[in-house]
Structure 1
Amino acid sequence: MSTPEQARRYGRRFIMVDNMLVVMGFFIVFPLISLHFVDHLGWAATLVGVALALRQLLQQGLGLLGGSLADRYGAKPLIVGGMLLRAAGFALMANASSPWLLMASCVFSGLGGTLFDPPRSALIIKLTRPQERNRFYTLLMMQDSACAVIGALLGSWLLQFDFWWVGMSGCVLFLCAALVNALLLPAYRVSSKRAPALAAVRTVLADRVYLRLVLTLSGYYMLGVQIMLLVPVTLKQLAGTTAAVGWMYALETLLSLSLLYPLARLGERYLSQQARMLLGILLMSSSLLLMSTITLWQPAFVVLALFYIGTIITEPAREVLIAGFAKTEARASYMGMSRIGLALGGATGYVGGGWLLDMARALKQPGLPWLVLAAIGYGTCFMLYRQFMQQGQHCKRVRWWRPRPALA
């Protein structure tokens, strides 16, 4: 019989394998959607943005529902069912010849994510101790970057033949992920007690400080989703080749593998989670401001590197800060609710980004989308700062700087 620590160790290793399949399956398809439907087929960027926003709204906006079901019935059935739905969505997307088929494929993909994403996030909280969490999230982000670039490069190569191969490859990877979870994932309970789903929902909705935080993060997600929409189209136009998408993810992987762990360790040692989040979002916003002046692909990649470094600083701190709010009786519900900011910000970012791109082309003002996004990023930083200061006044004081470690 295994000890609790051995069970946690097995669970963490399983999460790494599962995460590899999920990330590769996602990134083999989604970064290529705007290139295929906007650049190759000539569809309006706003139309494709609406389809992507629909997936985002369904997956993240219904996250609380998926999380509450996982708290009630356990992680395994939700994860397996959700991955099968995602696979069906990618198979439909591979054959999408009209906007309605693209939107239907995004509906299947989004509903699948609604089911499997919150319980997977809750398992990480269950299987890691608080002091281990920052390092584990950092390792997952490093793996995310490596798998994303592999998926994007493979998708870019397959796109040379036909988008059908891109969509079906994503379908196969999610079918494999569903099979792995069905066969190997233990029947974990993600909450400390099996309460009715509505009870878990009420617990989350009563946490006003948490709700304000996840809603304010909508602005941060509006910046992040442009990696799927504006950035691939812009880089392809500047570089003149679809291979630029692969270069983009190669850059992210290089920066993540070389900087993610040391920056996370330095931040953990000297800065609070709140300070790291604000610093990262400020850097992302400033890089978007610089992007409005770029006309060549070489400086575009330099500015993109600054954006990625901002993400590298922000993401581990955000994950740990969000996880710290989750109560044991409603872990998956908390993680599902944490996606509401991603739902609102992601959907607005996709639709707004597509509309801004069409508007910029019509007005011949290529810097317009980046100026608007930079303003949103700075506004988000200000609102987060206000919230953190209020938390310091009414709860325990927010410490922006950690005390310098004593010399041995």
Structure 2
Amino acid sequence: MTDAKPALTTRPMTRLARGSRTWRDLSPLLRLLLLTQLAFNIGFFAVLPFLAEHLGTAIGMAGWLVGLVLGLRTFSQQGLFVVGGALTDRYGVRPLVLAGCVLRIAGFVWLGYARDTASIIAAVLLIGLAAALFSPAVESEVARQAVLWEEAGHGPRTRVLALLSVAGQAGAFLGPLLGALLLAVDFRTACLAGAGIFVLVLAGHLRLLPQHIPGRERIRARGGLRELLRNGRFLAVCCAYGAYLLAYNQLYLALPDEVQRGTGSQAPLAWLFALSSILVVTAQLPVTHWAARRLDLRRSMTAGLLLISAGFAAVAAARPAGWTGIAGLLPAAVFVVLLTVGQMLVTPAARAWVPELAPDGRIGLYTGALSSVAGLIVLAGSAATGALLGGTLPGWLPWLVLAALPLAAVGLLPRRVTRRAPSAAT
């Protein structure tokens, strides 16, 4: 009887204590990488959310040209993640992080002073290329360190990867607040402040990031991309992750349309975005803790995709009622909550799955490819979604189609995952 007493006293451990214990157990390198993700997003989101308004109002660009500039930035970042990942495998984490910081500093400074179209495009391409270098380096090393953390008996790797999501989302929440304050001066000041943050990151990593990280061997042989394209299980996970990312992208495409319909204004969007960020920052670790105890990686992704599908279905079901005002905002709020909780289940699980599917020495390439393949799916899917939303179909039908996509993605997930054999090229 007395043996059960300690278990009863430890069970009510607070969420904060669990998160603090996880943080204390992390290696100095993992803490540095997670703080890096936070700093990256603060610097990035202090500038980029305000770029479209700057280009359209201050520079006077046409709407189609603003869209082109934003699309080029996304392509130069997301589309080239696979290149950054391959370079990380070949040259190591430190050179890619440092080079990416230098390019991001140059890009932000250039953007702050750019006035003509060619200079603006060059600056945003530089900003996107910077992330294509440093993000796969950081994310792949966090994933590798998370596996080592799990093997050392500290707990499921998804806890570490959940902290990566929390750090990124906290930066995405704080960055726009900083940017909004700086815009009281002007856009150039916001750009220079963003560059300043990356100067600090660069200085910190010059001092703290190891020249060589133990256990991460650089791979010299080629052929990794051909092997990747033959890895059906990995590509299936990429496609399922792409379906999630396409759904997440509807925060910027379908959700504004629904909010405008329900309330006659875009103003509530800011509150819905804040709701999503706060949910991730406060609930990501508890959700991951629950999922790690009850679900494997496939079931976690499945549950997340089903919740996302339910979010779209909720809007589709409410559309025929034609609610407006506060009631008209409720379906959009339900969508945001279900999408965000689904994101909390899908993202750590997908990142945790990559090391199981990648050959030894190729984790950078596979981490980058996860984002690049998903980015291509978003690019194609967003065009199709835009056509659906802008067409003459009943308002509920595009949301029903969007609800079907995560359901289809569940069927793509591998039934089981086994560790691949070490690459002969290592």
Q: TM-score normalised to the size of structure 2?
A: 0.75
Q: Comparing 340-349 with 308-317, which one deviates more in the overlay?
A: 340-349
The answer as to 2:412 corresponding to 1:379 is no
2:75 aligned residue (53, 57, 64) = 57
Map of 1:344 onto structure 2:
376
Aligned counterparts of 2:399 and 2:115: Cα–Cα separation in 1: 31
**Which secondary structure state, in structure 2, belongs to the residue aligned with residue 186 of structure 1?**
coil
Match for residue 32 of structure 2 among 14, 17, 31: 14
1:92 positional shift = 3.5
Which piece of structure 1 moves more, 294-303 or 168-177?
294-303
**Residues 164-213 of structure 1: per-residue CA shift (max 9 Å, x gap):** 33333322222322222222211134874333252444443442321232
Structure 1 residue 110 displacement after superposition: 1.8
Relative to structure 1, the CA distance from residue 373 to residue 172 in structure 2 (aligned partners, 3 Å threshold; closer, same or farther) is farther
Of 360, 366, 370 in structure 2, the residue corresponding to residue 334 of structure 1 is 366
Q: Write the distance in 1 (CA, Å) between the matches of 2:193 and 2:255.
A: 23
1:121 aligns to what?
139
Residue of structure 1 equivalent to 2:336: 304
Q: Secondary structure at the match of 1:329?
A: coil
In 1, are the aligned partners of 2:259 and 2:268 still within 8 Å (CA)? no
CA contact (8 A) 1:191 1:328 kept: no
| Cα displacement (A) at 1:236 | 8.4
Partner of 2:352: 320
The offset of 1:253, in angstroms, is: 3.4
Q: How many residues align?
A: 380
Distance 1:196 1:123, change over 3 A: same
Distance 1:181 1:217 in 2: 30
Cross-structure match for 1:403: none
How big is each residue's C-alpha offset from its partner over 1:81-135, in whole Å with a ceiling of 9 and x where there is no partner? 1122123333344445565544333311221112111111121133232444211
- Hey, what's the Cα distance between the residues in 2 that align with 1:356 and 1:106? 29
Match for residue 136 of structure 1?
160
Task: Give 1:38 shift.
Answer: 6.1
Cα separation, partners in 2 of 1:373 and 1:335, compared to 1, 3 Å: farther
Paired amino acid for 1:119: A
Residues 145 and 325 of structure 1: CA distance in aligned 2, closer, same or farther (over 3 Å): same
What is the CA deviation profile of residues 375-406 of structure 1, one whole-angstrom value per residue up to 9, with x for unaligned ones? 24522431432443xx45xx77xxxxxxxxxx
* Change in CA separation of 1:187 and 1:49 when aligned onto 2, cut-off 3 Å: same
Letter in 2 for 1:12: L
1:279 is aligned to: 303
Query: Could you tell me how far 1:67 is from its partner in structure 2?
Result: 1.7
Q: State the secondary structure of the residue aligned to 1:196.
A: coil
Inter-partner Cα distance in structure 2 for 1:302 and 1:43: 36
Q: Matched residues in 2 for 1:85 and 1:8: separation?
A: 29
Letter in 1 for 2:401: A
Q: Aligned in 2, Cα 1:354/1:386: closer, same or farther, shift over 3 Å?
A: closer
For residue 78 of structure 1, report the CA deviation from its aligned partner.
0.9
Equivalent positions of 1:39-188 (< 5 A) are: 47-95=65-113, 97=115, 100-128=118-146, 129=148, 130=150, 131-188=155-212
TM-score by length of 1: 0.78
Show the counterpart of 1:253. Answer: 277
Conservation of the 8 A alpha-carbon contact between 1:86 and 1:109: yes
Once residues 313 and 371 of structure 2 are traced to their aligned partners in structure 1, the CA distance between those partners, rounded to angstroms, is 26
1:341-397: CA deviation from partner (whole Å, max 9, x where unpaired) = 23213433565666667x37xx7x8x86x8536524522431432443xx45xx77x
Query: Structure 1 residues 180, 284: closer, same or farther in 2, change over 3 A?
Result: same
Shift of residue 79 of structure 1? Answer: 0.9
Query: Could you tell me which residue of structure 2 aligns to residue 194 of structure 1?
Result: 218
Report deviation, 1:21. Answer: 0.7
The structure-2 alpha-carbon separation of the partners of 1:118 and 1:386, relative to structure 1 and needing over 3 Å to count, comes to closer
RMSD across aligned positions (CA): 3.6
Distance 1:179 1:288 in 2: 44
Q: Report the CA distance between 1:9 and its aligned residue.
A: 0.8
- Which moved further from structure 2: 183-192 or 69-78? 183-192
1:31 equivalent in structure 2: 49
Q: Is contact 1:56–1:346 with CA below 8 Å preserved after alignment? A: no
Task: Give the deviation of 1:235 after TM superposition.
Answer: 5.7
Percent of residue pairs identical: 26
Change (3 A) 1:22 1:138: same
Stretches of structure 2 that go unaligned for 5 or more consecutive residues are 1-23, 419-426
Task: Tell me if structure 2 keeps the 8 A contact 1:83–1:177.
Answer: yes
Superposed displacement of residue 39, structure 1: 8.4
Contact 1:72 1:194 in 2 (8 A): yes
Alpha-carbon distance between aligned partners in 2 of 1:149 and 1:94, rounded to the nearest angstrom: 22
Per-residue CA distance 1:315-364 (angstroms, 9 max, x = gap): 2222212332233321211212212223213433565666667x37xx7x
Change (3 A) 1:301 1:380: closer
